[in-house]
Amino acid sequence: MNQLNWSSLTDAQQAQALSRSPLIGDSGLEANVQNIINAVAEQGDSALRAFSSQFDGVELQDIALSATAISEACDRVSIEIKQSIAQAMANIEAFHSAQAFQAIDVQTQSGVRCELRSEAIEKVGLYIPGGTAPLISTVLMLALPAKIAGCQQRVLVSPPPINDAIIYAAYACGISEIYQVGGAQAIAALALGTQTVPSVDKIFGPGNRYVTEAKRIVSQDSRCVVSIDMPAGPSEVLVIADGQANARFVAADLLSQAEHGSDSQVILVTDSQGLADAVDAELAIQLTALPRQDIARDALSASRTIIVDNIEQAVSVSNRYGPEHLIIQTQNPRALLSQVRAAGSVFLGAYTPESVGDYASGTNHVLPTYGYSRAVSSLSLADFSRRYTVQELTPQGLMTLSQSVMTLANAEQLDAHKNAIAVRLEAMSEKEG
């Protein structure tokens, strides 16, 4: 990877060093995705079939998978994969079940009761990427929290032909509605609905730049009312490593993200020139053994190694970048955790590769990318529910609060707000009289 010395860079050069892949930001992307969404809105299933033929090379007969097709796909999945899915499910369920919401019920003052409650989102759409790497694990990361949260309708979409293990994972998580559609057209179908695909209240799942752009557009489309989980685009990882880190481990972690796609980005930040050189040597060795080496090599071309003065500066660089995944391979990684201000998920120590979070440690691998980790959280059980407040006042509670409310309403020149209090005070006065 291209090596840069952080302290010798100008402000502009530092900003450029932390810029994302140039494959993001196609000027024609928004227009192309908008055209796809409009076609789905106007033509429904016909558009889905046409786009499937155009983009996936598949002539779809049935958009929805039948119960028989689901059963047959499950039968074709090996016992080894099923056992691996079961172990991952157990850990993911344990971690997400522990996130169950606890209602809040507070008396803010005498006669004034305020509550914070939560209920599951009724209809959710789960997008599972397919393409060159069918993400079986993403099914678990989305479907299990949706089930635990209690979402009544859970709809899964994935590009055709859907991998058998994706279908099995969905079935194991209690999903029976599976639709063979991917890309921006799948997002449009979930948002707007078609003759076959139902519309949902919220869309979850990562995808390529077309999927990410489609999610952004439909969340602002006046033809539907749908929300999205987060901006989740191409994969990225930043590794902080000191001179004692294992170069072989670091290179393997960088490549584990680089193989996701040509638009993935990996960054190594280290205070050791020796480690940087050793990692480069390891990358060359390990890259040749990867079946997806061409993809990984493309991703590495937009990636870099940043040499810093010390590990504290490395954390500062990481916070400025705001990585999706942050791996800390230093002598005392947990000591740095309190300094981390922006990361979707953090992996501490030499024996915590990012791969465990992708599959089976229990945490969720749907994470904010492109720097959004500075303000957006990793996916959790809370994302599958909506929270709402409740307030209840007694007559005495209203009486004691009335003057403050009327004074503030008067100051804001909102007379109807003030009057809503005043008419009640008058009624209470008349009743007493």
* Residue 324: active-site member: yes
* Residue 312: active-site member: no
Beta bridge partners of 329: 241
Per-residue pLDDT tens over the stretch 62-85: 999 999 999 999 999 999 999 999
Domains and CATH numbers, the chain: 2-22+234-362 (3.40.50.1980), 29-101+121-231 (3.40.50.1980), 394-432 (1.20.5.1300)
Give the residue with greater pLDDT, 212 vs 271: 271
* pLDDT at residue 302 in the model: 85
The counts of H helices and E strands in the chain are 16, 14
8 Å CB contact between 190 and 226: yes
Q: How far, in Å, CA of 46 to CA of 42, rounded? A: 9
* pLDDT at residue 229 in the model: 95
Band (pLDDT 50/70/90 cuts) for residue 23 is: very low
pLDDT at residue 130 above 90? no
pLDDT at residue 260 above 70? yes
pLDDT at residue 22 above 60? no
* pLDDT at residue 432 in the model: 82
* pLDDT at residue 131 in the model: 66
Mean of pLDDT values over 128-146: 90
- pTM listed for this prediction: 0.91
Beta strands in 67-158 (DSSP E): 104-109, 112-120, 123-127, 153-158
pLDDT at residue 58 above 60? yes
pLDDT at residue 189 above 50? yes
Give me the half-sphere count of Cα atoms (radius 13 Å) on the Cβ side of residue 394. Answer: 10
Band (pLDDT 50/70/90 cuts) for residue 132 is: low
* pLDDT at residue 203 in the model: 98
Per-residue pLDDT tens over the stretch 30-46: 999 999 999 999 999 99
Per-residue pLDDT tens over the stretch 341-362: 999 999 999 999 999 999 999 9
pLDDT at residue 206 above 90? no
Per-residue pLDDT tens over the stretch 214-241: 999 999 999 999 999 987 767 899 999 9
Catalytic residue chosen out of the listed positions 260, 324, 354, 365 = 324
Catalytic residue chosen out of the listed positions 96, 260, 325, 365 = 325
pLDDT at residue 25 above 80? no
User: If you average pLDDT over every residue of the chain, what do you get?
Assistant: 95
Mean of pLDDT values over 82-99: 98
Q: Which residues contact 386 (CB under 8 A, 6 or more apart)?
A: 118, 119, 121
Above pLDDT 70, what percent of the chain? 97
Mean of pLDDT values over 394-420: 97
